[in-house]
């Protein structure tokens, strides 16, 4: 009985071994590639820093929103307390 998976696995192992040999015997990467890698790493670090900064700002805005909601609730409660006094004043004078 033919074992397709075993044959495929064997081919994959041989391919990996051949690639490793090529990498081991190949010359060092081009200087241009090293420069590109360094540029991409710097860009990645910059993006990571920007993400952290934006997350902090998001947290600050969330806290501001919560404080504004508390202030709004307080003003709404104050208005509910003042409103009956205003209504009674208008009825007494008329």
- Residue 31 is predicted with a pLDDT of 75
What's 3's DSSP letter?
-
On the 0-12 / 13-18 / 19+ scale of CB atoms within 10 A, 94 is exposed
Output 26 or 79, whichever has higher pLDDT.
Answer: 79
Predicted confidence (pLDDT) per residue in 19-59, tens digit: 888 777 766 667 788 889 999 999 999 999 999 999 999 99
- Residue 61 is predicted with a pLDDT of 97
- What is the pLDDT averaged over residues 71-91? 84
Structure tokens at 92: 């007494």
Output 73 or 34, whichever has higher pLDDT.
Answer: 73
């Amino acid at each position: 009985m033919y074992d397709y998976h075993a044959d495929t696995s064997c081919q994959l192992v041989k391919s990996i071994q051949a690639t490793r040999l090529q990498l081991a015997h190949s010359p060092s990467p081009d200087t241009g590639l090293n420069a590109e890698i360094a540029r991409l790493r710097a860009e990645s670090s910059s993006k990571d820093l920007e993400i952290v900064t934006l997350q902090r700002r998001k947290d600050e805005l969330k806290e501001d929103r919560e404080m504004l909601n508390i202030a709004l609730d307080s003003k709404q409660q104050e208005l509910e307390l003042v409103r009956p006094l205003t209504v009674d004043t208008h009825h007494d004078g008329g």
